[in-house]
């Protein structure tokens, strides 16, 4: 078996792309998108018809409402190609707006259900700010399941688990990027700070009995992926999926519920004040969360302009 086939024995593989052809090729269980991926996709000739259709069919609505329908159009096409769930992201400009995020999550689910998709097949993707986590807590109580993204630290992960969110997406590659730039060192294998962060979160969840799924995300190389074999899910870009499919190097399980029981971890109690203080104490997580929100906001603005240019 190639590395991708081996990984599928331990971990649910998710395609991190808006590219339908990649999904056909690699047969992932689930798929995730984000503002940057959708922006990139709609500028390709093969996906421009989806954009044109969204604008033509809903041109009387405001730009935000058109984009909601564009995101759902992508999601509907993706769901034709995968057996599992698609993650659809809320507008990053709502990252510090609990009520706005709740309203957006409800609207996206309404659009999917109008199209005949059950809410069990959709994850609403929300930034792991305190406000975003509170929004997810409300949505989860309505059986609107959430994927908490831009997650870089244990306090973010703990707050998500306490809120009983369905799934979190800790960003391996962006953690690695920060430490590499900060230290000037190269990291590989188990020494990679991004890998270590996800292992810690996974072990914490399993040791203390949290049901929230852990989905490693934002990979820079296949070494990071292989080191997290056994994680609940891994969302992987098409280029790295291709590299895994081309390699027949052995893949061993690295994470398991059984081994997590012996992890040297203490249970942490969090409220808003302690969450904000712990996050603030982590320079990497604070910087990468802020940067990620800024980048997604910038791409959302670019997508707005593309839609407005077609109206």
Residues recognised as catalytic: 125
Q: Give the Å distances, CA to CA, from 119 to 64, 66, 279.
A: 21, 20, 32
| Distance from C-alpha of 218 to C-alpha of 228, rounded to nearest angstrom | 13
Q: Which residues on adjacent β-strands are paired with residue 217? A: 171
Measured N-to-C along each axis, helices 130-140 and 272-281 cross at an angle, to the nearest 10 degrees, of: 130
| Distance from C-alpha of 178 to C-alpha of 192, rounded to nearest angstrom | 11
Q: Where are the alpha helices (DSSP H) in the chain?
A: 3-7, 20-26, 35-42, 48-58, 63-79, 98-114, 130-140, 154-162, 172-183, 193-207, 222-226, 238-246, 257-260, 272-281, 283-310
Structure tokens at 61: 């609505």
The set of residues, in sequence order, having a beta carbon less than 8 Å from that of 77 and lying 6+ positions away, is 20, 50
3-state secondary structure of 30: strand
Q: Which of 186, 232, 227, 204 is nearest to 84 (CA)?
A: 232
- The overall longest dimension of the chain from CA atoms, in Å, is 58
Structure tokens at 123: 């994850």
Backbone torsions φ then ψ of 255, nearest 5 degrees: -120, 140
3-state secondary structure of 45: helix
């Amino acid at each position: 078996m190639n590395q991708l086939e081996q990984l599928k024995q331990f971990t649910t593989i998710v395609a991190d792309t808006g590219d339908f052809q990649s999904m056909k090729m690699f047969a992932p269980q689930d798929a995730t998108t984000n503002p940057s991926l959708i922006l990139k996709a709609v500028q390709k000739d093969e996906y421009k018809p989806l954009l044109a259709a969204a604008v033509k069919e809903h041109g009387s609505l405001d730009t935000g409402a058109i984009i909601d329908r564009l995101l759902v159009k992508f999601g509907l096409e993706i769901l034709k190609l995968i057996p599992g769930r698609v993650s659809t992201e809320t507008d990053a400009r709502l990252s510090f707006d609990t009520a706005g995020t709740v309203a957006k999550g409800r609207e996206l689910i309404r659009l999917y259900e109008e199209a005949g998709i059950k809410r069990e097949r959709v994850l609403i993707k929300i930034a792991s700010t305190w406000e975003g986590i509170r929004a997810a807590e409300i949505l989860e109580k309505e059986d609107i399941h959430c994927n908490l993204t831009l997650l870089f630290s244990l306090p973010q992960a703990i707050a998500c688990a306490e809120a009983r969110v369905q799934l979190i997406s800790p960003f391996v590659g962006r953690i690695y990027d920060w430490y590499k730039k900060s230290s000037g060192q190269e990291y590989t294998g188990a020494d990679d700070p991004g890998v270590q962060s996800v292992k810690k979160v996974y072990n914490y969840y399993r040791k203390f009995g949290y049901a929230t799924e852990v989905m490693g995300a934002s990979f820079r190389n296949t070494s990071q992926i292989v080191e997290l074999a056994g994680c609940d899910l891994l969302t992987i870009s098409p280029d790295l999926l291709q590299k895994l499919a081309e390699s027949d190097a052995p893949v061993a399980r690295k994470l398991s519920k059984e081994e997590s029981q012996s992890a040297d971890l203490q249970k942490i109690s969090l409220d808003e004040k302690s969450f904000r203080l712990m996050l603030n104490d982590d320079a990497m997580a604070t910087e990468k969360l802020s940067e990620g929100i800024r980048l997604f906001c910038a791409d959302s603005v670019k997508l707005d302009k593309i839609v407005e240019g077609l109206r």
